[in-house]
Structure 1
Amino acid sequence: MSIARALGNALSGLTATARGTETVAANIANASTPGYARRDLAVSAQTAGGNAGGVRVDGVTRAVNASVLSESRLAEAARANAATRLDFATRIEEAVGIAGNTGSLGSALSDFRTALSSAASRPDDDIRLTQVVDKATALADRLNAASDEVQAARSAADQAIASDIATLNKSLAQVADLNRKIAVLEADGSDPSSLYDQRQGIIGEIAKIVPVQEVTRTAGAVALFTAEGAVLLDGTMPTELSFTAAGQVTADRTAGSGLSMLVQNGAELTQSQMKLYAGGSLAANFAIRDELAPAAQDLLDDIALDLHGRLANPAVDPTLTASSAGLFTDGDARASAADKTGLAGRISVNDAVVESAGGEAWRIRAGLGAATPGAVGDASLLVAMSDALDAATTATAGTGFSGKASLADRLGAVESRIATTRVNAQSEAAVINSQADTITSRLAADGVDSDAEMQKLLQYEQAYAANARVIQAIQTMMDQILEI
């Protein structure tokens, strides 16, 4: 081997070790950077005239396990979906309150029943009659607050949908722009690894909103589809998504009737077409707004209608007619199953017994339609009201209840369903989080290993020293030749 060839081999080795050291340094520096993929230096033997000619640097490659990355994105979408549903279920359970806890709906009903019993033992005591009105008002207020919380959750979900769509549009535009930039760098022979990392991070954020599948295209570009097949980006222009937030959502507003659906490329999607976007936080928020929250509202409305009907019965209070409102009213009128939606948010105590509204508390004893206080010792209406609450009556038509049960038992069933929904959501979230964590660990195993990178650094150091000794030996030989 000639001195010139030996020198060329050594110099190529130094160049390769310098690039390798830079790669290791970049890996260690970005070990915790989201979306960063480990870099590996690709080298091969350089030949000249069939003889070895040193080391050729072929480039820097990104170490990414595509199948695990795809699983990770689907898992993150499922995690976001489960977390959103769990947050809603927890919020509604807190609004209704845990059975037996102070401030719960069940506790308000128990206090009302206790006040009725106390007043029945001393019907002549105006303070006890006033306490019945106060506890009835507190019960109505608890129903109102729970209903308001359900509708607030729907409003929050509606706003979250708008935010998700804005993020999707922005992120898809960024991916399309990165596709173009990567294509330019690929054509120039430059290293686009940092842009690949940036694009991977953006797609990861998209996956939390809607599960995505990535398909590689020419020149380093990618196309994005939802897990169910909807096109998000395939080419230079992303799919245009839009959504109009409703602002404040009320119980009477439903999907397609006061509430917007997702619009794709100018066309509003139907309920069946929305399945194309199932799986992430976007689908969870649509489910909360259009399915889960209305179901919770129905339960509260059923309880409100049952409460109203028990005390508006002329058999309980003979001073009432079939069209009269009882102790509890729907906007000062009698409630009906036909107009049940949102009743829990509207129910209130009849002004006839509220002193601040010009009413008289003695009507709790004498009857809502009574013209005079009657006998102060007559507790028959108070007893009848208490018995009506405790009676196992047939479910009111138009409600979701069945069979015979007391009001407390029906409320217990509602509390149980709401608590079960939260427990199921929590269990599902725990399973999904465990699966997602496992996949994330598998993905991290292909990431930067600091110990392995330090071993590579030692190898590069040894290679550098070997090539440096070759150059030093060549210099010594040249010095001896020049001295001859």
Structure 2
Amino acid sequence: MSLNAIMNTASSGLATAQTQLRVVSDNVSNVNTPGYVRKVAEQRTLTSQGMGAGVEVARIRLATDRFLQAASLNAGAESARQGVKYELYDRIQSLFGDPGGDAGFFSQVDGVFSAFAASAEDPTSSPRRQEALFRTQALFDEAGRIGKQIQAVREDADSRIQSAVERTNSLLEQIEGLNLEIARATAIDGDASGAETAQSALIGQLAELVDIRVSVRPVGGVSIRTGA
């Protein structure tokens, strides 16, 4: 082996070690960063005329398990959807009050029935008739108020849907833009891990809005389809 070959072999080892240190440093500095995915630098041996000629970093990939990632996306999406449903249902339920309480809508319904029952026992009693009419009107007023509030909840839900659609389109555009970056880096055996980490975070945000399925493209990047 010539001196030049020896120097090249040593240089390849130093360059690979530098890359490994950069990856480790990136992992350590982002250990508490939400959504960050640990990187792994994969090495491969270089050969020349059947002889060892050093080492190089074949690629830098994200240390992800696709099955666990899919399960995590599904769990996150389901949690987000159920959280929104619970909030909306809770807001509607609160409008009616505690079914067993004394101040809710259902207690007013009971009050109307009780007032009419009392009036039926003494049809000639004007105060009892007035009480029945008063309670009936109060019930209608309360029903009207609740109806308006339910409509407000429905309009809020519609607004959220519109915002979710706009956010979904924006995320898809960003993910596709990163697909191009990842594909270009993959084509030249470059480091696409930064773009892949950013893309992974965007996919997580998208999964909270839409039920999705993610598959890896052979050229780099991902394909996304809805789970429906």
Q: If the length of structure 2 is used for normalisation, what is the TM-score?
A: 0.82
Equivalent residue, structure 2, for 1:74: 74
SS for the counterpart of 1:36 is coil
Q: Following the alignment from structure 1 to structure 2, what is the Cα–Cα distance between the partners of residues 123 and 29?
A: 84
Equivalent residue, structure 2, for 1:36: 36
For residues 400-439 of structure 1, what are the structure 2 equivalents within 5 Å? none
> Could you tell me whether the CA contact under 8 Å between 2:196 and 2:221 is conserved in 1?
no
Equivalent residue, structure 2, for 1:409: none
Aligned-residue offset at 1:223: 2.2
For residues 320-335 of structure 1, what are the structure 2 equivalents within 5 Å? none
Q: 1:139 to 1:167 in 2, by over 3 A?
A: same
Amino acid at match of 1:27: N
Q: Following the alignment from structure 1 to structure 2, what is the Cα–Cα distance between the partners of residues 176 and 4?
A: 44
1:334-374 alpha-carbon deviations (Å, 9 max, x no partner) = xxxxxxxxxxxxxxxxxxxxxxxxxxxxxxxxxxxxxxxxx
> Could you tell me whether the CA contact under 8 Å between 2:42 and 2:57 is conserved in 1?
yes
For residues 95-174 of structure 1, what are the structure 2 equivalents within 5 Å? 95-116=95-116, 126=127, 130-174=130-174
Q: 1:223 to 1:2 in 2, by over 3 A?
A: closer
Equivalent residue, structure 1, for 2:224: 224
Structure 1 residues not aligned, in runs of 5+: 229-484
* 1:179 has 2:179 as partner: yes
Aligned-residue offset at 1:107: 1.2
Q: Following the alignment from structure 1 to structure 2, what is the Cα–Cα distance between the partners of residues 168 and 4?
A: 55
Q: Following the alignment from structure 2 to structure 1, what is the Cα–Cα distance between the partners of residues 191 and 2?
A: 34
Amino acid at match of 1:70: A
Q: Following the alignment from structure 1 to structure 2, what is the Cα–Cα distance between the partners of residues 207 and 130?
A: 57
Amino acid at match of 2:83: A
Q: 1:190 to 1:3 in 2, by over 3 A?
A: closer
Q: 1:51 to 1:186 in 2, by over 3 A?
A: closer
Equivalent residue, structure 2, for 1:26: 26
> Could you tell me whether the CA contact under 8 Å between 1:214 and 1:225 is conserved in 2?
yes
Aligned-residue offset at 1:23: 0.7
Q: Following the alignment from structure 1 to structure 2, what is the Cα–Cα distance between the partners of residues 124 and 41?
A: 90
> Could you tell me whether the CA contact under 8 Å between 1:43 and 1:58 is conserved in 2?
yes
Q: 1:180 to 1:4 in 2, by over 3 A?
A: closer
Q: Following the alignment from structure 1 to structure 2, what is the Cα–Cα distance between the partners of residues 162 and 39?
A: 36
Give me the CA root mean square deviation: 3.0
Q: Following the alignment from structure 1 to structure 2, what is the Cα–Cα distance between the partners of residues 58 and 11?
A: 16
Q: Following the alignment from structure 1 to structure 2, what is the Cα–Cα distance between the partners of residues 45 and 183?
A: 24
> Could you tell me whether the CA contact under 8 Å between 1:45 and 1:52 is conserved in 2?
yes
Amino acid at match of 1:62: L
Equivalent residue, structure 2, for 1:88: 88
Q: Following the alignment from structure 2 to structure 1, what is the Cα–Cα distance between the partners of residues 105 and 125?
A: 29
Q: 1:124 to 1:214 in 2, by over 3 A?
A: closer
Amino acid at match of 1:112: V
1:37-65 alpha-carbon deviations (Å, 9 max, x no partner) = 21111123334444434332323222221
Amino acid at match of 2:14: L
Q: Following the alignment from structure 1 to structure 2, what is the Cα–Cα distance between the partners of residues 51 and 28?
A: 36
* 1:199 has 2:199 as partner: yes
Equivalent residue, structure 2, for 1:65: 65
More helix by share: 2
> Could you tell me whether the CA contact under 8 Å between 1:104 and 1:142 is conserved in 2?
no
Higher alpha-carbon Rg: 1
SS for the counterpart of 1:209 is coil
Aligned-residue offset at 1:116: 4.9
SS for the counterpart of 1:219 is coil
Amino acid at match of 2:99: A
Q: If the length of structure 1 is used for normalisation, what is the TM-score?
A: 0.42
Aligned-residue offset at 1:100: 2.4
> Could you tell me whether the CA contact under 8 Å between 2:62 and 2:197 is conserved in 1?
no
Equivalent residue, structure 2, for 1:190: 190
Q: 1:40 to 1:163 in 2, by over 3 A?
A: same
> Could you tell me whether the CA contact under 8 Å between 1:40 and 1:61 is conserved in 2?
yes
For residues 43-54 of structure 1, what are the structure 2 equivalents within 5 Å? 43-54=43-54
Which has the higher mean CA deviation after the structures are superposed, 112-121 or 155-164?
A: 112-121
Structure 2 residues not aligned, in runs of 5+: none
Aligned-residue offset at 1:123: 6.0
Q: 1:218 to 1:58 in 2, by over 3 A?
A: closer
